[in-house]
Structure 1
Amino acid sequence: MSERDARSVGELLLEGDLAMRRLLVDAERLDVAELTAALPSLLRAAEEFVGVLPRRGSAPGQGLPSIAPDPSLGRLRAVTDRMERLRGTREWLSSAPPSPQLSAVRDNLLRARDLVVEHHHAQAVPRPDVLADGAAARARVMHTLYVSAHAVVLAARHSALDRSAGARRRPAWRDREVGALGAIQHLAESLEQLAGEEVRRTFPSASRGEWRELPNPSRLRESMGAWEVEARRSLSGNATPADRAEVVRVQGAILAMGRVLLGVAAHQGVIDRDGFRDLVEPSLLEVEARVGEVRGMVQDLATRGSGGLDHRLARAGSEVVLAHTELVLDGTGAASPAVIARRTDLRAISSDVADALPAAVGVLSELGTSLTDPALVTNAVGLQHLINRLERGQGPRLESPMTPWVAPRDLALGRSVPPPDWVRAEIDGAVEAAFRALSVAITASTSVGLGGREHFRDVTGEGSPSALRPPAGRLGLGQGRSPGPADPGVARM
């Protein structure tokens, strides 16, 4: 039996928004065919979620209609409908599977819709704070659509440039592909403009109405312990390229947001300010840079044919990132130090963050073992992505121009192939550099009195690490556990 999804409405929306922003960081890896396959269903899910949000004009006993049309989303859907019709006329577009990233955001929206419908109090007129929470939720969704439209623009532009490069004379079918990509880019730009106008009009003011529960003090520590268990379990087994990419992505997020929390602790005088500025912060920035290099390599290898993502790993990664973001984020940006200080016990959090550094060593050790396994094979397309990036920085590594590292037939068929020895050495060197940087950061944190809490390991991985979190209020747009069947009246609408 699968465990219950304990994410609140707000966490589901925030997770989707952050996922779309990550797409822009990795724009060159985007697949325009996959994005256009998923975008229409994402828009429909957004309409369904926004359609059930509390709104003015509800009367006692009326409840909510199944879907209340939103004029702005209707205009966006008209654009995606045109994109879907265009996609149906091109076999190379229509045969592509939907983007897993956009599909995950769609599923989050549908789950959020179900939570709102399940826990809306139909007998009561929505109060002003509930309406404000609903407006913040709608604004978050519009921002997510705005960013996803920009991702399609970037993917279409990049794909068109790839197809236009090379010989001066291209075959007619290639010209038709470039023309279709131009049309997709134009539609995506229209979508981006429409969504952007709505974001500029509503997001800054609406986000101030977001309801937030006070964070559970133990959530961060528990989620980091559960994450370490699941990451090491996944990597020590038959980890897929998608699993490795998720591990290094989440580990990088933990390190970056942990540095923010330590910076706030230093700002508030909880830890040594000079020691943090001179020793700890530079060493943590170096760790982030080195882990970022490993992340780029792992994500290249996961570009295509990455296999499924381990469900327990994904859930633990989601939980630990949300446990951090509920402390450090407001809207789409970082919360002020004063706000973060009000949300948590900075002394306890500083100890938890410092203890995450040796935990990261264990996770990276398992990752390095997985990546340097002599039996490792990876998709040829992903391997070629990595080789291209390495050669851009270091120059060609071919033994002969007539013997490419990845055979063209392997690329065309998307076969699994072993990485060349020099690529394995580059990966091993990047992981080793991350280890060295972590060692320096651990020494620096110890020198200013951080750490000391026994490393949290009392997590079996069975059940949700969210189980001890308190229930959320209103729509739960802030952070907190989504209401369960035994929580009547939790979503106070």
Structure 2
Amino acid sequence: MGELLLDADLHARLALWDPNPDEAAARVRTWGEVIEAAAAVWAAIPDRDNDPTMAQLHARAARPNPRWPGGGEGDPTLTTVAASLTRAADLVSARRHPTAELSEAGHLDAEAARTRLMHTVYVASHAVALSLDHHVRDLRRRLEAGRAVPAGESLTHARTARERATAAERLAGLYLETRWPAALAGQHQPSPDTSRLQTAVARWDVAAHRALTRSPTIADLSAVAQVQAQLALATSTLTAAAAHAALVDGESFAQRLAPSLVEAERAWAHLGADLRQLTGRDRRRNPELLLSANELTASLREYTHDQSGLARPSAVAQDEALWEVARTLRGATAAAPDIAQIVREVLVEAELSASATATHALVTAHLGSDRQDAWVNPADLAHHRQIPLPQAARGVLAEAADRAAQAVSAVDVAAATLHPAGTPGAPTRGMDSVATGWRRPEPELPKLDWARPGVGCER
């Protein structure tokens, strides 16, 4: 449950990076789902004080305007937040003892969960209010210039929605004022098990190859790119911590590996953003790929995040298993070039479909408008259809995949030349081969058993 709440919190923060006014209506539609799911989690968590704050928030969000924004698609990022919270509510409701009293440790853990939950609501509400603020400004400029607002839009309704989201943000902020992040210290957080990360990396490699060779979708490709970007970022964070702990040569890391990891993370992130833009309504993902991606992300966050956000390298460096973690991620960097090449082949050769509107926007942004022939059939644009991915879009995406392949190949070369620091005890942990990069033998990974976890064993 803690991992689900952290996932919801981090996705809510992602929404702050793009206060796109065009996404305001979609975010308003999904915001109610987030509040609804958060209220369900809140009700499932035992509370000695019966704090009414979430009930007040729920009452505000439960009165949507029937006229605006109307029907349509939701915001993908906030949809992920709502899904994680819904799953967390199901887990707690199914396992909570109806009459047992909380121990003091249980009470502190519950307080931490409610604080994390309220922070998610606070950030999500702020993201919605921010998009609405930009949306209101755009509508006001149009009216001041004497132009009509687009059909279905209303400056009055947009302002009202902004006021509701802002009021919810303030109410959540008042709750967090004396709790964030201090209350998170009471969260029950067992020590990470390195075997979990080893298994997650191996399963991800298998699942990615299977998904990419068995009728992949644009959503599958987007998921692969996003997870590979997370792996590059986590490798950078944890190797920096290893350098801080004098397990590897800090100068070699700073001069060669760190810049190549930054470039790899940027290349994967750009490719993932382009692919995510193309998904439209078709967000189907391979179930095995989704499961392995979620498990890998959760296992990485055990090392890269603390209670309130990204952990500092000095804090990560205190983990006794850091060397084993670094070795595991070294294997992931070695597998990344092959995944990048397969992604490029799929983008060039496989049968893929994408949103006509998003395809037109992507190709126009990269190649400009074509004066002779439209990039996408105007009829498909007008009806927002899913269309076969055109050659122009394939070319744009293939170039992005090429950049990712070159970047991860550079990471693999740089990682192979990373030397151990000359500190006492380093020879027993060191590296000796450019081919393998590591002296100690690789541990035998657990068998890839995809059986569902039993009751009480969900991560």
After TM superposition, the score normalised by the length of structure 1 is 0.80
List gaps (5 residues or longer) in structure 2: 420-430, 432-436
Could you tell me which amino acid in structure 1 is paired with residue 224 of structure 2? V
**Aligned 8 A contact 2:333 2:408 in 1:** yes
- Quick one: structure 1 residues 424 and 112, their matched pair in 2 at CA, closer, same or farther if it must change by over 3 Å? closer
1:28-47 per-residue CA deviation (whole Å, 9 max, x = no partner) reads 39743433333223323322
**Alpha-carbon distance, 1:113 to partner:** 3.1
2:345 aligned with 1:369: yes
- Of residues 395, 409, 413, the one that matches 1:443 is 413
CA deviation string 1:406-446 (max 9, x = no partner): 34432221123345544433322221111111111111111
Structure 1 counterpart SS, 2:102: coil
Partners of 1:454 and 1:208 lie apart in 2 by: 35
The alignment yields a C-alpha RMSD, in angstroms, of 3.0
Assess if the C-alpha contact under 8 Å between 1:55 and 1:126 holds in 2: no
Residue 302 of structure 2 corresponds to residue 326 of structure 1? yes
Confirm or deny: 8 A CA contact 2:207 2:288 kept in the other structure. Answer: yes
Counterpart in 1 of 2:184? 207
Identity of aligned pairs, percent? 26
Aligned to 2:15: 23
- Per-residue CA deviation, residues 56-84 of structure 1 (Å, 9 max, x unaligned), is 37xxxxxxxxxx5x4211221232123x1
- Provide the C-alpha distance between the structure 1 equivalents of 2:373 and 2:138, rounded to a whole number of angstroms: 22
Aligned to 1:131: 107
In structure 2, distance between residues paired with 1:220 and 1:318: 12
Compared with structure 1, are the counterparts of its residues 398 and 336 closer, same or farther at alpha carbon in structure 2 (3 Å cutoff)? closer
Tell me the number of residue pairs that the alignment of Structure 1 and Structure 2 aligns: 440
Distance, in Å, in 2 between the alignment partners of 1:287 and 1:298 is: 17
CA offsets, 1:225-258, max 9 Å, x none? 1111112211222222222221111111111012
**Aligned counterparts of 1:30 and 1:362: Cα–Cα separation in 2:** 37
Write out per-residue CA displacement over residues 126-152 of structure 1, whole angstroms, 9 at most, x where no aligned residue: 222211111110011011111211222
Please point out which of 371, 380, 389 is paired with 1:410.
380
1:280 and 2:249 are equivalent in the alignment: no
Asked whether the equivalents of residues 35 and 58 of structure 2 are also in contact (C-alpha less than 8 Å), the reply is yes
Following superposition, the deviation at residue 482 of structure 1 comes to 7.7
Query: Does 2:212 match 1:224?
Result: no
Q: Aligned partners of 1:109 and 1:355: how far apart in 2? A: 33
Partner SS, residue 59 of structure 2 = helix
* TM-score, scaled to structure 2: 0.86
Determine helix, strand or coil for the equivalent of 2:398: helix
Contact 2:14/2:77 (8 A) holds in 1: no
When residues 224 and 162 of structure 1 are mapped into structure 2, their CA distance, relative to the original with a 3 A threshold, is farther
- Alpha-carbon distance, 1:263 to partner: 0.7
| Matched-pair contact (CA < 8 Å) for 1:265–1:271 | yes
Tell me what 2:53 maps to.
Answer: 72
Alignment partner of 1:42 is 2:34: yes
Q: Shift in Å at residue 457 of structure 1?
A: 7.9
Which position in structure 2 is the counterpart of 1:380? 356
> 248, 270, 277: which is aligned to 1:271?
248
Q: Distance in 2 between matches of 1:173 and 1:347?
A: 57
Ranked by relative contact order (alpha carbons within 8 Å, sequence separation 6 or more), the top structure is: 1
8 Å contact from structure 1 (residues 35, 152) kept in 2: yes
- The AA in structure 1 aligned to 2:246 is G
Alignment-derived partner of residue 424 in structure 2:
none
Kindly tell me: are residues 154 and 76 of structure 1, through their superposed partners in 2, closer, same or farther at Cα, counting changes over 3 Å? same
Report the Cα distance in structure 2 between the residues aligned to 1:125 and 1:457, rounded to whole angstroms. Answer: 40
> Secondary structure of the equivalent of 2:48?
coil
- Report SS of the residue matched to 1:218: helix
Alpha-carbon distance in 2 for matches of 1:49, 1:14 = 13
CA distance in 2, matches of 1:484, 1:456: 23
Structure 1 counterpart of 2:167, from 159, 165, 190: 190
8 A contact 2:333–2:412 mirrored in 1: yes
